[in-house]
């Protein structure tokens, strides 16, 4: 009898449980603070809500020079998430405030020789401090400074002093195995041109053949062009390009290089860049320095050999070269999401505040101290390299928004604000929100979104400011950590569009 009752009652109880669950789910869905357009986008792309975090605050003027924040949207905002490249927000903001926007990296050149009748008889020792933007244009200035010392010819070799960094931070470890990609270049106190060869490939303007040029100039690089021009669209042009870089040792133990291109190239391509990191740091710097000296009109008694070496105690300082200021460097870090520049900024904080050799751990300590000084307690924060190129770095959307609010109250806040990519205009946001922004062309004061982006496999992230059509300023940070995160770009664009429009009324939100 008891068994019969159970058989009759059990289906009824199951129906009640399902109905109760559906009712509970419906209530929760209605109570979600997230705008419908965002939840619909997530659902279409099979991204669960627990893979998303959002923090939106309206930034208002308080007392003179003091901005305050009012919460607009909070969804899992306290959960530590992988921020990808939005971690650069923390690194650059701390760097600007600690070092100052006018900070400049110093590259010192020493010699163990003397200058006689325009010839330097002796070796050159380059000692770096981690200038992240020692590019050909800057190296050309350095060469002019050398010539101003009365040097026209050099009879000696090159030695590279990288003692500013601990050896561990210069190891070439990657999270994706793509060691030849420019975004994976490791830090280097004597980083030159991001250690990246950039080939410019395009159809000649005067004839039906392919032109190949490259930067930076290297003293022992030869380009062999065996590519064929084909009548095809420019889509996927790289898949048909074959590239080999063959090194060989010359008679003076110098490194000779042959860059060979073969395959096909579409005639529809107006010009593309093919970037590669395929040369060791010493060879790249030796050939770059040698070529830059020759381009400046200087000569060598014989091609120099370059290798690691500490500056001897008896060596004398020839010159100290100062690079581009930090404010300009931060523009590149944030607008174009330059990983190695961000990593070197973190190491510079360690170098300047805790001495050499700089380590990532010391950079972390400097930033943690800075956070405390600004009354920011970031539990769950993980800094591995400061660039976001990491599987381990973590910060919450709410903490990121606290940084954005703090920035508005710092002396360098406007410089930081201007370094963020502008939607529809530049940097990594150049092609984002184009359609939405066209709606506001008629307005005298147009809204804008200045947003740092971040992307890794399984991660999509945004963090920055939105000025709405009514002139309100919002700080917004959102992270998606999920295998389908690459489909989450639309959800983030929906969030930014919602803020550009000042957001819907609460009743319209789902």
Which tens digits make up the pLDDT trace of 23-51? 333 334 344 689 999 999 999 999 999 99
Please give the model's pTM, rounded to 2 decimal places.
0.90
Query: What's the CA gap between 83 and 131, in Å, rounded?
Result: 25
How many residues appear in the chain?
A: 510
94: Cβ–Cβ under 8 A, 6 or more apart, which residues? 349, 366, 367, 370, 371
**pLDDT-derived band of residue 411, with 50, 70 and 90 as boundaries?**
very high
User: For the chain, what is the mean pLDDT?
Assistant: 91
Asked if residue 293 has pLDDT above 60, the reply is yes
Q: Which residue has the higher pLDDT, 371 or 509?
A: 371
Q: Give buried/exposed letters for 381-402 (b at 16+ CB in 10 A, else e).
A: bebbbbbbbbeebbbbbbbbbb
How far apart (Å, rounded) are the C-alpha atoms in residues 247 and 256? 6
Q: Is 84 left (phi over 0), alpha (psi -120 to 50) or beta?
A: left
Instruction: Check residue 278 and give its pLDDT.
Output: 85
Average pLDDT over residues 335-340: 97
Q: What is the mean pLDDT of residues 406-433?
A: 97
Span 10-24, pLDDT tens digits: 444 343 333 333 333
Q: pLDDT grade, residue 487 (50/70/90)?
A: very high
* pLDDT tier, 208 (very low <50, low <70, confident <90, very high otherwise): confident
Alpha helices in 220-265 (DSSP H): none
Can you tell me the distance from the alpha carbon of 509 to that of 507, in angstroms, rounded to the nearest whole number?
A: 5
**pLDDT above 90 as % of the chain:** 83
Average pLDDT for 476-498? 98
DSSP 394: B
Half-sphere exposure in the Cβ direction for 272 (13 Å, CA)? 14
Which residue segments constitute the domains of the chain, with CATH numbers given? 36-102+327-508 (3.40.710.10), 197-276 (no CATH)
136 burial type by CB count under 10 A (0-12 exposed, 13-18 middle, 19+ buried):
middle
pLDDT value at residue 250:
65
Q: What percent of the chain has pLDDT over 70?
A: 90
Query: Positive or negative, the Cα torsion across 334, 340, 342, 345?
Result: negative
Residue 212: per-residue pLDDT: 96
């Amino acid at each position: 009898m008891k068994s019969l009752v159970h058989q009759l009652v059990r289906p009824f109880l199951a129906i009640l449980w399902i109905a109760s669950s559906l009712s509970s789910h419906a209530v929760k869905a209605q109570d979600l603070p997230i705008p419908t357009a965002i939840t619909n986008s997530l659902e279409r792309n099979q991204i669960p809500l627990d893979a998303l975090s959002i923090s939106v605050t309206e930034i208002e003027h308080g007392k003179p020079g003091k901005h305050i924040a009012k919460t607009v949207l909070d969804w899992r905002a306290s959960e530590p998430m992988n921020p990808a490249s939005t971690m650069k927000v923390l690194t650059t903001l701390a760097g600007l405030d600690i070092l100052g926007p006018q900070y400049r990296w110093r590259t010192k050149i020493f010699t163990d020789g003397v200058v006689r009748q325009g010839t330097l008889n002796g070796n050159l020792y380059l000692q770096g401090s981690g200038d992240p933007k020692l590019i050909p244009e800057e190296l050309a200035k350095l060469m002019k400074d050398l010539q101003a010392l009365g040097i026209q010819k050099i009879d000696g070799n090159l030695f590279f002093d990288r003692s500013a960094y601990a050896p561990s931070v210069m190891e070439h470890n990657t999270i994706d195995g793509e060691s030849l990609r420019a975004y994976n270049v490791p830090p280097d106190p004597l980083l030159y041109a991001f250690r990246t060869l950039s080939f410019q490939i395009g159809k000649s303007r005067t004839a039906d053949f392919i032109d190949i040029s490259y930067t930076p100039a290297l003293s022992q690089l030869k380009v062999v062009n065996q590519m064929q021009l084909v009548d095809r669209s420019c889509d996927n042009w790289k898949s048909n390009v074959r590239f080999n870089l063959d090194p060989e040792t010359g008679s003076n133990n110098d490194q000779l290089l042959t860059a060979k291109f073969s395959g096909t190239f579409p005639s529809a391509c107006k010009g593309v860049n093919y970037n590669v990191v395929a040369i060791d740091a010493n060879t790249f710097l030796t050939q770059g320095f040698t070529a830059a000296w020759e381009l400046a009109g200087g000569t060598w008694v014989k091609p120099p050999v370059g290798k690691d070496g500490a500056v001897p105690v008896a060596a004398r300082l020839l010159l100290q070269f100062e690079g581009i200021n930090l404010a300009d460097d931060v523009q590149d870090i944030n607008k174009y999401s330059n990983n190695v520049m961000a990593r070197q900024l973190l190491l510079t904080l360690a170098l300047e505040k805790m001495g050499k050799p700089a380590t990532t751990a010391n950079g972390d300590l400097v930033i943690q101290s800075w956070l405390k000084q600004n009354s920011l307690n970031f539990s769950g924060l993980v800094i591995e390299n400061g660039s976001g190129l990491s599987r381990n770095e973590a910060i919450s959307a709410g903490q990121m928004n606290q940084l954005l609010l703090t920035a508005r109250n710092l002396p360098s806040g406007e410089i930081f604000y201007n370094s963020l990519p502008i939607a529809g205009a530049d940097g990594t946001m150049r092609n984002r929100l184009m359609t939405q922004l066209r709606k506001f062309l008629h307005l005298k004061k147009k809204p804008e979104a200045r947003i740092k982006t971040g992307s890794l496999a399984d991660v999509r992230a945004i963090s920055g400011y939105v000025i709405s059509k009514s002139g309100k300023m919002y700080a917004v940070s959102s992270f998606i950590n999920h295998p389908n995160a690459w489909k989450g770009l639309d959800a983030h664009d929906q969030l930014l569009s919602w803020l550009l429009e000042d957001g819907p009324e609460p009743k319209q939100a789902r």
